[in-house]
Structure 1
Amino acid sequence: MQEYDLFINNKRSTMPPSGFSVDRETLHESMFDFQKDIDCWALKLGRAAVFAGTGLGKTRIQIEWGMKVHELTGGDVLILAPLAVAAQTIREGAVLGYEITMCRSQDDVRPGLNITNYEMLNHFEPILFDGVILDESSILKSFTGKMRTELIESFAFTPYRLACTATPAPNDYMEIGNHAEFLGVMSRTEMLSMYFVHDGGETQKWRLKGHAEDTFWKWVASWGVVLEKPSDLGYSDDGYILPPLTITDHVIEVEGELAKTLSQRQKARRETAEERVKACAEIVNASDQPFLVWCDLNIESEMLTAAIPGAVQVRGSDKAAHKEKALLDFAAGKIRVLVTKPSIAGFGMNWQHCADMAFVGLSDSFEQVFQAVRRCYRFGQTRPVNVTMITSSREGATAENIKRKETDFRKMVAEMVQYTKDITSESIRSTERDVTEYRAKNPIRLPPWLRSEKIAS
């Protein structure tokens, strides 16, 4: 029996440490205890994921992680981030006393921390970096996506890797699998074959094997930390108690049949745009406070900008420079009303200065709506947040559907945190806190076949 137990234990898949130890007290003094311990744990692993609720300081965690990798190796670290988030990260680094270089190509890279947008990845030589950080790493979500594949393949040999994103939906196993593959823990297909069974003919219909649920989350906890608030890992929640969030349904009565299908809802949205825009403009124009207006259709964006004096819109077709400037100007208070879509600005931005928002078109994507609300409703917000969801009577229970999905999401996240909290908390708190004596002295010499023609020349 003892030999069989040993055999089973040897078959268990956990991620062995490949990083280094640091003294917790050498991390930036402004960081909270839980942030320092997460950094120590992630540096010890070398390749790790941080799945943390919005506003828990993932930016500071990743900046400090990157600086420690640079200090140890003497090599360069690349941060990949969504548009406009890069400038936000540079400002956060300056607060910590660190210089982060904005880059558009490999030629711009300087010793230390460098940052660029995901769209610019093909202008860089990933093999030349000792560390890589994915900010808003949920970009790995699509297992068929070009960007997902490019990220995994480009950094397959990077010694130190960190992925930071919000807490994933517990049943979004593809996102978890893609993170594991990016970190070099296990391929997505291996994860599926080890822990899951396939239901039906749809390739995305996978469910955990009945006996594997506990083992699966233990495996996740061996390379990823999951938390919605500091107390999930046994720390104090002081400073992390959110103010009230009020979501109000503003339903406009219009003539027409109730939409029952997705295509019918989309048709109803187009045909009721004028009524919904008018209702939103009345609400926003009656206020003098910062206001964030989310829309779903281009026509809504154009009509809203015309109906709200001083409003600035950000569209998908706008040049990157305009998008970035507008998003940052809104954060700085230079723009009172910003009109845009969740698909454009719903991830990564910190807009705690704003406590009022409206949705003048709700997509059927719960994640987009959830993330859009969290641009303002996040730790660091000091005022009650008011969200108005403006729909027509023809659209059906879209807002109710979104709120139902959030309730389900919260329940599932609580279960996921419960599965991982004890294991993760124990491993994070037990991380060694001695400084490694290793210091790199000799530069890595790359064979010519690993270098691009540009670099080789």
Structure 2
Amino acid sequence: MQRRANVELRTAYNAFIESKRMSDPASGLTEIPALNQTLKPHQHDIVTWALRRGRAAVFAGTGLGKSFMQLEWARCVAEATDMPVLILAPLAVAAQTKREGEKFGIEVKHCREQSEVGDASIVVTNYDRLQKFDLEHFAGVVLDESSILKASDGKTRTAIIEAFKDYRFRLACTATPAPNDYMELGNHAEFLGVMTQEEMLAMFFIHDGGETQKWRLKGHAESEFWKWMCSWAVMLRKPSDLGYPNDGYDLPPLAIEQITVGVDHDRAQDTLFVMQAATLQDRIKERRETVEERCRAAVEIIARKPDTPWLVWCNLNSEAELMTKLIADAVEVRGSDKVEDKERKLLGFTDGQIRVMTTKPSVAGFGMNWQHCADMVFVGLNDSYEQLFQAIRRCWRFGQTKPVNVYLVAAETEGAVVANLHRKEADAERMAEQMVAHMQDITVATIRGTSRTKTEYNPSVEMTIPQFLEAA
């Protein structure tokens, strides 16, 4: 009797442990169709892996063919399911995606609402048009520049995740997931149905108190976290990160120069010298009070190359307005512009019809390919390294043939902007290298496999039946 009771208890215990396993069941294709022969080796294998997984994230550096990979993934899903696939993209990137499809022989229809879809197999639209579509009509979804999950407000993020929670096929693509922003990684995991952000934080992180958004990896969980993440995501900054040749993937030189603008020393008030802004609010105040000085310094820089394309990145509306006024052929793209006007201007710059474009990273800093431009100036900055990095990457990317020059114009009261940039860049690079190091352990055979994400619980101590139960 006692032995039987022990067996039953162990059986119940094992069932309990099994229920604690985090499992992400297979949802992809078991048979992969012939892929486009123009895919490069790393692109071919990543597309194959993503199709088999069904729900996956591709974090590929700018210029590595992210658009081509997601289009080929969408084509295969549409053919396998005989249903269309929806691609969501930032403003103007939708039109650019259609152009990319034409280049690779993949038909893509740019639609603004469901009534325009017709019999299209691949449909691309802007994120802000999502509510205009009947989502039951589609078999799969691609989030192009999926970092928007973090950039969006909580309501929009939740709406996107909720809208596609039952989709068998989901692909999230971005060039730069912020590896030091764990919330963004959690957003991707939740969108893909791997694990909720709350579950991720509870399993791998600890909250030290103070600011509610400050989380750090548990010491013993760091390695397991990256292994878990790399089981559903592929990250590479260059093909060799996954063991492929880097032929043809060479970035040109990048020069970042800080232009420091002096300020009126009468503003020093009771101090002998003008003091550097110590807080975020102080820096914002200084930026507002030095708009004209910084804009005129930027105009002088642009005047050095009067016949070449320029990108002018601003942080304040007043900066953009003054720069557009001071440069005769500058065109401003504002967040308040009509969608059609934004697309027309952004594509006009792409096609070379506009020489100088003035805008904000929050408006045009994601997704656009502007290798034709190699010079940019930041008239105003904020404290977001990701926005700065994304804006620079519009021009400094694989496929750029010229050295890229970036000028950061800052008032002397703003401090060492470039030094702060390099510090943040080093932090992000260290985290990215850690993630890539784990990816390098994943062989091509693993990328081509069909295994799903699974967080294993392996008990190392055998269950001991309490004596009071044995006595019973």
TM-score (norm 1): 0.89
Shift of 1:6: 13
CA distance in 2: counterparts of 1:169 and 1:297, whole angstroms? 24
Aligned to 1:162: 171
Instruction: List per-residue Cα deviations over 1:241-270 (Å, max 9, x = no partner).
Output: 101100011112223422222122112112
CA contact (8 A) 1:167 1:227 kept: no
Aligned to 1:331: 350
Instruction: List per-residue Cα deviations over 1:337-378 (Å, max 9, x = no partner).
Output: 111111110000000110111111111111110100000001
Shift of 1:178: 1.3
Which deviates the most, 71-80 or 197-206? Answer: 197-206
1:373–1:88 distance in 2 versus 1, CA, 3 Å: same
SS of structure 1 residue aligned to 2:219: coil
Selected match of 1:186 from 195, 213, 216: 195
Selected match of 2:415 from 379, 396, 399: 396
Aligned to 2:7: none
Which deviates the most, 348-357 or 303-312? Answer: 303-312
Selected match of 1:360 from 376, 379, 386: 379
Aligned to 1:60: 68
CA contact (8 A) 1:347 1:372 kept: yes
CA contact (8 A) 1:28 1:64 kept: yes
Aligned to 2:464: none
Aligned-residue CA RMSD in angstroms?
Answer: 2.2
1:368–1:326 distance in 2 versus 1, CA, 3 Å: same
CA contact (8 A) 1:55 1:378 kept: yes
Instruction: List per-residue Cα deviations over 1:68-103 (Å, max 9, x = no partner).
Output: 001101001100000000000000001111221111
- Structure 1 unmatched runs, 5+: 433-457
1:307–1:424 distance in 2 versus 1, CA, 3 Å: farther
Selected match of 1:205 from 204, 211, 214: 214
CA contact (8 A) 1:143 1:174 kept: no
CA distance in 2: counterparts of 1:133 and 1:305, whole angstroms? 36
1:111-150 → structure 2 map (5 Å cutoff): 111-141=120-150, 145-150=154-159
SS of structure 1 residue aligned to 2:372: coil
SS of structure 2 residue aligned to 1:20: coil
Aligned to 2:456: none
Letter aligned with residue 215 of structure 2: W
2:296 is aligned with 1:278: yes
CA distance in 2: counterparts of 1:212 and 1:67, whole angstroms? 38
Letter aligned with residue 158 of structure 1: Y
1:7–1:413 distance in 2 versus 1, CA, 3 Å: farther
1:443-454 → structure 2 map (5 Å cutoff): none
Aligned to 2:37: 29
Instruction: List per-residue Cα deviations over 1:372-420 (Å, max 9, x = no partner).
Output: 0000001111111011111111221223212221122112211121123
CA distance in 1: counterparts of 2:152 and 2:368, whole angstroms? 25
CA contact (8 A) 1:218 1:423 kept: no
CA distance in 1: counterparts of 2:15 and 2:46, whole angstroms? 30
1:320–1:142 distance in 2 versus 1, CA, 3 Å: closer
Shift of 1:169: 2.4
CA distance in 2: counterparts of 1:367 and 1:409, whole angstroms? 9
CA distance in 2: counterparts of 1:83 and 1:424, whole angstroms? 36
SS of structure 1 residue aligned to 2:441: helix
How many pairs are equivalent? 429
Higher Rg of the two aligned structures: 2
2:262 is aligned with 1:262: no
2:442 is aligned with 1:423: yes
CA distance in 1: counterparts of 2:409 and 2:210, whole angstroms? 38
Identity %: 58
- Structure 2 unmatched runs, 5+: 1-10, 266-273, 452-472
CA distance in 2: counterparts of 1:10 and 1:385, whole angstroms? 54
Letter aligned with residue 200 of structure 2: M
Which deviates the most, 171-180 or 115-124? Answer: 171-180
CA distance in 2: counterparts of 1:158 and 1:390, whole angstroms? 46
SS of structure 2 residue aligned to 1:212: helix
TM-score (norm 2): 0.86
CA distance in 1: counterparts of 2:329 and 2:111, whole angstroms? 32
CA contact (8 A) 1:255 1:394 kept: no
Selected match of 1:173 from 165, 182, 203: 182
Aligned to 2:454: none
Letter aligned with residue 107 of structure 1: S
CA distance in 1: counterparts of 2:96 and 2:320, whole angstroms? 25
Letter aligned with residue 117 of structure 1: N
CA contact (8 A) 1:66 1:77 kept: yes
